């Protein structure tokens, strides 16, 4: 079957409205909302860590070495 450029163009034009997003969809969350959520999560985690007391003499799991 032969498929001409004109037929291909018509097929693309006909498929374009179906591929377009619907107007009623909600937009993606704004960057400010994500930033606020990240800050809130960070604050909650910091508050949770303040409940634990760690002695200063506690040895870290890694060692800093000069090169």
Give the integer Cα–Cα distance in Å for 12 and 4. 12
Q: Which helix (H) or strand (E) holds 22?
A: none
List alpha helices for the chain, DSSP H.
5-19, 31-49
Q: What is the pLDDT of residues 27-64, one digit of tens each?
A: 666 777 889 999 999 999 999 988 988 777 777 777 77
Q: How confident is the model at residue 4 (pLDDT cuts 50, 70, 90)?
A: confident
- What is the pTM assigned to this prediction? 0.39
Give the integer Cα–Cα distance in Å for 45 and 39. 10
What the block records as the tokens of 28 is: 């993606």
pLDDT at 41: 95
Q: What is the pLDDT of residues 6-27, one digit of tens each?
A: 877 777 777 766 656 666 656 6
């Amino acid at each position: 079957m032969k498929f001409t450029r004109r037929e291909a163009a018509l097929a693309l034009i006909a498929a374009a409205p179906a591929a377009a997003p619907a107007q009623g969809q909600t937009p993606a969350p704004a960057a400010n909302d994500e930033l606020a959520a990240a800050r809130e999560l960070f604050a909650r985690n910091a508050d949770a860590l303040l409940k634990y007391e760690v002695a200063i003499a506690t040895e870290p799991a890694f060692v800093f070495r000069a090169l």
